[in-house]
Amino acid sequence: MQCNNNFTYCYVRSRENPAPDTQALHYMIDANLTPSDYDLISRAFPKHNPQFSDQHGWNTVCLASLYGNGQLVKHLIESSKGLQLVNLGAINGLPPLSCACLSDNHSGALAAAEVLCDQGAEVNMMTSSESSILWKVNGVYQRVMIPKQATPLWMSKEIAYNTKLCQFLMGKGAILSPNSLTQDCAEPA
């Protein structure tokens, strides 16, 4: 990670796991996978490491956040590498908090964001470059463009339309982007 004017860019990314265990386990992660089911399943994949990404670039905490599975996010942080995972970005540069902000599971996304922030997630971590992901938005899979310097708040507002998550993030000091300090987030005159 690199800090610049109080904003952090996500440069720390997970590495792709050479073991196929990560990919197989990731296919089973969704909004309903319980921590106990995850533990049971992960025993069948002894080489799985939550810090590594699967072949699509997602690490385990990012994927659980993307599905809005707050219980699993909390369990992964508490039971494995802990704080090392809180701001560990996927291969595409999205940290777990940004992934939660993209989720169409609004209540789950809020739960995941609360866990991540309680564990020290950077609320203003920005993307270091433009990227795109194929993701479900309003029930339909589509290519979602994420601009350079997008923050978790920007993703929650502009992509997921999650008002409660936006309010939560603003309460934690989140802003839309460095350029929005005097524009979008300014108090009305």
Question: To the nearest whole percent, how much of the chain has pLDDT over 90?
Answer: 41
Residue 38's nearest CA partner among 81, 84, 87, 74 is: 74
Judged against a pLDDT cut of 60, whether residue 152 lies above it is answered with yes
Answer whether 15's CB lies under 8 Å from 40's CB: no
Q: Which of 40-44, 45-49, 73-77 has the largest mean confidence?
A: 73-77
Judged against a pLDDT cut of 70, whether residue 123 lies above it is answered with yes
Give the residue, 117 or 92, on which the prediction is more confident.
Answer: 117
Helices (H), 68-105: 70-79, 83-86, 96-102
Judged against a pLDDT cut of 80, whether residue 103 lies above it is answered with yes
pLDDT of residue 19: 54
Average pLDDT, the chain: 80
Answer whether 68's CB lies under 8 Å from 106's CB: yes
Q: Please, which residues bridge with residue 8 across strands?
A: 3, 125
- Give the Cβ contact number of residue 115 at 10 Å: 27
pLDDT band at 32 (very low <50, low <70, confident <90, very high): very high
pLDDT of residue 185: 36
The single-letter code of the amino acid at 132 is: S
Delimit the domains of the chain by residue range: 2-180
pLDDT band at 35 (very low <50, low <70, confident <90, very high): very high
pLDDT tens digits, one per residue of 127-146: 888 888 877 767 788 888 88
Judged against a pLDDT cut of 80, whether residue 176 lies above it is answered with yes
Judged against a pLDDT cut of 60, whether residue 181 lies above it is answered with no
Domain 2-180 classification at class level: mainly alpha
Judged against a pLDDT cut of 60, whether residue 33 lies above it is answered with yes
pLDDT band at 58 (very low <50, low <70, confident <90, very high): confident
